[in-house]
Amino acid sequence: MCCDIHRPSAFPSFDTLISQPPKLPNHSRLPNYTMGPKEYKLCEALEDWREEKMAEKYGCSHLIDISPATIMADSVLDCLVNCAHHEKIRTIEDLHKETHWLATDKFGSEVLAITHHIIPAKVIKHVTLTNAPLQRFPLASPVLTVKKSNRCSACQQEGHNNMYCYTFCSVYSGLTCSPECN
């Protein structure tokens, strides 16, 4: 018994099952833009908020030793400012989806309040959703298609054309057309 490759049944206690963590939802792909005064103001406000939370948690003496990025990473802050510019964050769920910030549940409401104070989110009107299938045409005015019937140019009767006039007219209606019509 040399190893688990040759005799796996001899080593059952060393088997480990590592489960994959759940996949996070994809965040939005935002186009590049030039930051304006509102974005700079939001960035400063969030940096001040980070320092304040850092001082509350670890004390003012640790602001130099431990970066405020332990509360909110710079990448999360940048992502938050970008998403606020593009109006992607309206709720705490949006904040978590876009930034994947682990402290969203703890500090999300505070961050949203700061963000919406500086860059207000547009209000979305509540729309009633339905599971009814989409209609191709409006229900009020149904479109009816009427099939055009053939009219014979020789005898002017409907139901056939000039090609079959001699046969059709003589057999079905008793009318006779001359063979020259064909």
CATH number assigned to the domain comprising residue 41: 1.10.150
Residue 113 has pLDDT above 70, yes or no: yes
Residue 52 sits in the same domain as residue 97: yes
DSSP SS3 for 160 = coil
User: Whole domain around residue 166: which residue ranges?
Assistant: 150-182
Domain final residue, candidates 118, 137, 172: 118
Residue where the block lists tokens 């688990």: 4
Tokens of 139: 């229900």
Residue 169 has pLDDT above 90, yes or no: no
Q: Has residue 14 been placed in a domain?
A: no
Same domain, 95 and 40: yes
Q: What is the pTM of this model?
A: 0.55
Q: What mean pLDDT is predicted for residues 62-86?
A: 87
Show which of 102, 118, 134 is a domain's final residue: 118
Same domain, 157 and 113: no
Residue 127 lies in a domain: no
Residues 94 and 155 in one domain: no
